[in-house]
Structure 1
Amino acid sequence: MTRKTRSATAAAIGLCVALAAAGCAGGDDGSGSSDGQGTVTLWTNAMEGRGAQFWKDAAKAYRALHPDVTIKIQSVQNEDLDGKLQNALNSNSAPDIFLQRGGGKMQAMVDAGQIRALELTDTDRANVGEATLEGVSIDGEVYAMPLDTQPEGIYCGKDLLKKAGITSTPTTMDELEDAVAKLKAIKVAPIAVGAEDAWPAAHWYCNFALRECSRKTMQEAAAIDGMSRLGFFFRMVVPLSLPGVVTVGILGFVGSWNNYLLPLYVLNSQANHTLPLGVQVFSSQYSTDTAKVLAFTSLAMLPALIFFSVFEKRIVGGLTGAVKG
Structure 2
Amino acid sequence: MDVIATTAEQDSTESRFAEKVTPYLRDLMESSEAIREMYQLNPELENLEADTSVDLLNEKTSTPVFGTVKKYEGQLLALLSYTCVSNCRYCERQDRVGVGLDSAGRLTKEKIDNIIDYVAGDETIYEVIASGGDPLTNPKGLRYLFEELSKLEHVKVLRIHTRFPLQNPDKVDLKLMADLSQLREAVYFSLHIDHPDELTPKAIKLIAELKAMGYIMITQTVFLKGINDSVETLKDLFLKLFELGVRPYYIYHGQEVTSTRRFVMDLDDEVNIMTDLRNQLSGLAFPQHVIDIPGASGKVVVPSNHWSYDSGSVSDFKGKRVTTSDWNEIAQGKGH
Q: TM-score, normalised by structure 1?
A: 0.24
Q: Structure 1 or 2: larger strand share?
A: 2
Q: Structure 1 or 2: larger helix share?
A: 1
